[in-house]
Amino acid sequence: MNPLEQVVLAIQSLAYAFRQILQVPLWVPWLALGALQLAVIGGLWWFAHPTISWLLAPAVRAMAGEDALHYPNLFRWLPELYGRFDLVVGALAGAVVTGQSTALFAAWFSGQPLRPGEGMRRGVSRAGALILANLPLTLLVLGLSSVFNGWLEHRQGPALLIRVAPLVTLGMAVILQAFFLWVNPLLMLGGRSLVGALTALPRAATRGVWTALTLAVAATVPLLPIQMLARGSDQIVARGSPELVGWLVIAQALIALATGFVLTGGATLAYQSLVGPALEDDA
């Protein structure tokens, strides 16, 4: 396929996956992940409750300092605190859920739907491979973000470069996500081992580069507005509406959940249509 055809395939795959958004059986893994994420937000929001303060208060103090333990300062830190916790949740539970969802979507698109429990069982059976295969993406994006934040803190370099640095960082994160997009289908649909999936990943990325980039960009765009609002937590708290930050973080988590659902469905369909057959032809 030429680049234009690959872009069209990505858009069609996303549109078809979006039309499945009311199919409850496909949502089962994502609902479990969403419940875990909301539990994390709730725990941070009410960290001072005696039932959980023994665990979360030291964690909040270690990550944000003593000042964050006092109302309403916690809400200034809530987006960042949740981001750190969610990084772990995504790297562990999120990787398994994406694998489970890939299996469910693939069966659904093939006209032979799986029971949600069977799809979840298949993901759990490959949990180790899914976590390890997705870990490089998490570490690379985290490392990129750390370097960027450290560089911005020192404000070194031309002013124009400093202004465009966030866009450059975002672009690099999208490229990394596009490169690793096929790793879950390779594991769950291609029957590859962990090493086999990582070895096949460059070939898969080459075969579906424009499709993957389009899917990655489409998955990033819906999150940008709510992330920008959440980053203004200082101003929101200063204006006397600290709890609004909490609701923005909840909205961010729900949008990310829906985006993950559609992206996984789109990536699964694109793999079945383009990347999987191309890799079989190469073999």
* Cα–Cα dist 238/176, whole Å: 36
Structure confidence at residue 154 (pLDDT)? 59
Window from 30-39, 90-99, 136-145 with minimum mean pLDDT: 136-145
Which of 226 and 124 is assigned the larger pLDDT?
124
Confidence category of residue 283, pLDDT binned at 50, 70, 90: low
**Domain boundaries defined on the chain:** 3-282
With a pLDDT cut of 70, the percent of the chain lying above it is 93
pLDDT tens digits along 110-141: 999 999 999 999 999 999 999 999 999 999 98
- Could you tell me the CA-to-CA distances from 182 to 46, 206, 234, 254 in Å, in that order? 38, 11, 38, 24
8 Å CB contact between 51 and 143: no
3-class secondary structure per residue, 96-141: HHHHHHHHHHHHHHCCCCCCHHHHHHHHHHCHHHHHHHHHHHHHHH
- 94 or 153: which carries more pLDDT confidence? 94
Name the nearest CA neighbour of 31 among 207, 277, 253: 253
pLDDT at 179: 94
What pLDDT band is residue 165 in, cutting at 50, 70 and 90?
A: low
pTM of the model: 0.90
For the chain, how are helix, strand and coil distributed in percent, rounded to 5? 85, 0, 15
Residue entry with tokens 């937590």:
233
What integer is the mean pLDDT of 214-243?
86
* 101 pLDDT above the threshold of 60: yes
What does the pLDDT average to over 144-172?
66
Span 62-85, average pLDDT: 89
pLDDT digits 0-9 by tens, 167-182: 777 888 899 999 999 9
pLDDT for position 54: 87
Rounded to an integer, what distance in angstroms lies between the CA atom of residue 268 and that of residue 102? 6
| Residue at token pair 């469905």 | 265
Give me the pLDDT at residue 234, please.
85
Q: How far apart are CA 130 and CA 29, in angstroms?
A: 15
C-alpha distances (whole Å) from 116 to each of 8, 36, 257 are 30, 18, 17
Q: How far apart are CA 79 and CA 227, in angstroms?
A: 9
Confidence of residue 145 (pLDDT cuts 50, 70, 90): confident
Average pLDDT, the chain: 89
Q: What is the distance between the alpha carbons of residues 72 and 70, in angstroms, rounded to a whole number?
A: 6
pLDDT of residue 163: 63
The reported pLDDT for the residue numbered 238 is: 85
- Reported as a pLDDT band with limits 50, 70 and 90, residue 35 is very high
Confidence of residue 68 (pLDDT cuts 50, 70, 90): confident
The per-residue pLDDT for 158 is 56
CB 174 within 8 A of CB 223: no
Helices (H) and strands (E) in the chain, counts: 15, 0
Band (232; pLDDT cuts 50, 70, 90): confident
